[in-house]
């Protein structure tokens, strides 16, 4: 059983909290500390962003995080080194890389997949790799033991939902809004309807993200989804912190707040 499968299987009625940070933000030395602090505060799955110069799916908060990380020359190989360091103290928590295809293509699908598994990565969400073109890529990921994770949007047709679910492993990621990360207002009714539609096509857990701004929104989503993804709200705290230590404390406190709201909603 993979770490992602074991995580969801062991929730015992709880809903998974999936937390996103950008690797290397606010500085490379802080990332692993942030990862451990989030787990200690209640995060079940870490979504680690690979900084990229043109993050088309991300709103301004995460765009700026990528810029800060790139200013520190954080590369894909550097991100894998961070995961490897994290694994020396945590062999259990799933780590999913979220990023874009270009750095992976530079490294090569096979080499990337092998290096990611060796570092301790469990899944990969490649935002700009459409499932229709992902055949060779998915084969390399699955052969190495990585879960390919795909996004489903509010506008995704039922036919395409079925195709995406057939390729997906680990969990399915539903984008709760039409837009970039951290944008717009959460439509809980719409999320509920789409999650129900997706469940007709897969037995995988369904996580919801992109519009979860606070504990109240996370609690609402926790009532209908298997996992809640929180990203921009945490990255914004990092951006507003005076230093790395303050960033760790602020993020851990917000995670505890969201975790408590999710648990109360699930109960």
pLDDT at 70 over 70: yes
Give whole-number Cα distances, 136 to 109, 129, 172, 218, in Å. Answer: 8, 11, 20, 35
Over residues 26-35, the pLDDT tens digits come to 999 999 999 9
pLDDT at 168 over 90: yes
CA 218 to mean position of chain CA atoms? 15
Q: Which residues pair with 206 in a beta bridge?
A: 172
Instruction: Report the C-alpha gap between 81 and 142 in whole angstroms.
Output: 21
Over residues 224-261, the pLDDT tens digits come to 999 999 999 999 999 999 899 999 999 999 999 999 99
Q: Specify the CATH number of the domain 3-266.
A: 3.20.20.70
Instruction: Report the C-alpha gap between 267 and 263 in whole angstroms.
Output: 6
Q: Are 37 and 215 within 8 A, CB to CB?
A: no
Q: Which residues contact 165 (CB under 8 A, 6 or more apart)?
A: 172, 198, 201, 202, 204
Q: Are 171 and 227 within 8 A, CB to CB?
A: yes
Residues annotated as catalytic (active site), given as ranges: 47, 58
The pLDDT, as a whole number, for residue 39 is 98
Phi-psi region of 8 (alpha: psi -120 to 50; beta: other; left: phi over 0): alpha
pLDDT at 113 over 70: yes
pLDDT tier at 124 (50, 70, 90 boundaries)?
very high
DSSP structure class, residue 223: T
Q: Which residues contact 85 (CB under 8 A, 6 or more apart)?
A: 32
The pLDDT, as a whole number, for residue 176 is 86
Q: Are 84 and 116 within 8 A, CB to CB?
A: no
Q: Which two tokens stand for residue 203?
A: 């037995």
pLDDT tier at 184 (50, 70, 90 boundaries)?
low
pLDDT at 211 over 90: no
The whole model's pTM is what? 0.94
Q: What is the mean pLDDT of the chain?
A: 94
Query: Tokens 């993979």 belong to which residue?
Result: 2
pLDDT at 84 over 70: yes
């Amino acid at each position: 059983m993979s770490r992602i499968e074991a995580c969801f299987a062991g929730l015992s009625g709880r809903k998974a909290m999936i937390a996103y940070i950008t690797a290397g933000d606010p500085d490379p030395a802080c990332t692993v500390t942030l990862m451990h602090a989030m787990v200690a505060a209640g995060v079940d799955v870490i979504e680690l962003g690979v900084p990229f110069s043109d993050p088309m799916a991300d709103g301004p908060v995460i765009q700026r995080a990528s810029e800060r990380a790139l200013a520190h020359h954080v590369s894909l190989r550097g991100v894998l080194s961070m995961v490897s360091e994290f694994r020396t103290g945590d062999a259990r928590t799933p780590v999913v890389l979220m990023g874009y295809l270009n750095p992976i293509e530079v490294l090569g699908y096979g080499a990337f997949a092998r290096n990611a598994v060796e570092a301790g990565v469990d899944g990969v969400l490649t935002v700009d790799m459409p499932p229709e073109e992902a055949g060779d890529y998915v084969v390399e990921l699955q052969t190495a033991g990585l879960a390919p994770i795909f996004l489903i949007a509010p506008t995704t047709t039922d036919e395409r939902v079925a195709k995406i679910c057939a390729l997906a492993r680990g969990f399915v990621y539903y984008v709760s809004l039409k837009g970039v990360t951290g944008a717009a207002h959460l439509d809980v009714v719409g999320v509920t309807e789409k999650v129900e539609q997706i469940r007709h096509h897969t037995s995988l857990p369904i996580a919801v993200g992109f519009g979860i701004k606070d504990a109240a929104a996370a609690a609402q989503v926790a009532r209908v989804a298997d996992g809640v993804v929180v990203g921009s709200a945490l990255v914004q705290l990092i951006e507003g912190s005076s230093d790395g230590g303050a960033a760790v404390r602020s993020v851990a406190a917000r995670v505890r707040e969201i975790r408590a709201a999710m648990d109360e909603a699930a109960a």
